[in-house]
Amino acid sequence: KAGVTQTPRYLIKTRGQQVTLSCSPISGHRSVSWYQQTPGQGLQFLFEYFSETQRNKGNFPGRFSGRQFSNSRSEMNVSTLELGDSALYLCASSFEGAGNQPQHFGDGTRLSIL
């Protein structure tokens, strides 16, 4: 069974640009969550999607948005990029997101802002 796939693995952008990251969950998983990992702030929750609806949202500005498609694939978009957005963005999937269903992570997209 294929794991969580994130594309691209690496991205370099400049301030002010926007970026879209993609995540394909494990087959059959319907919940997709996004996390940001930085050396200073650690792992922080961005948002979670289930059945094409955003079910939970973390404390990030509106520049960070996402969506989920009918096949459970998810995209995350960051607009008006800032230097502080440089981070590893991790996607995780689970069957339905419930507590006894662990989240499985992809290898992440490393975003660098110049």
Least distance between another protein and beta carbon 15 (Å):
25
Closer CB to another protein, residue 17 or residue 48? 48
For another protein, which is the closer residue by CB, 67 or 110? Answer: 110
Residues 6+ apart with CB under 8 A from 78: 18, 19, 21, 63, 64, 65, 85, 111
Query: Dihedral angle at the C-alpha atoms of 73, 40, 59, 8, nearest 10 degrees?
Result: -20
Footprint of another protein on this chain (CB under 8 A)? 4, 6, 31, 33, 35, 42-43, 45, 48, 55-56, 58, 90, 92, 97-100, 102-108
Query: Cβ 27 to another protein, closest distance in Å?
Result: 17
Whether residue 61 is preceded by a cis peptide bond, meaning omega within 30 degrees of 0, is no
Residue among 48 and 85 whose Cβ is closer to another protein:
48
Show the tokens assigned to 28: 């059959």
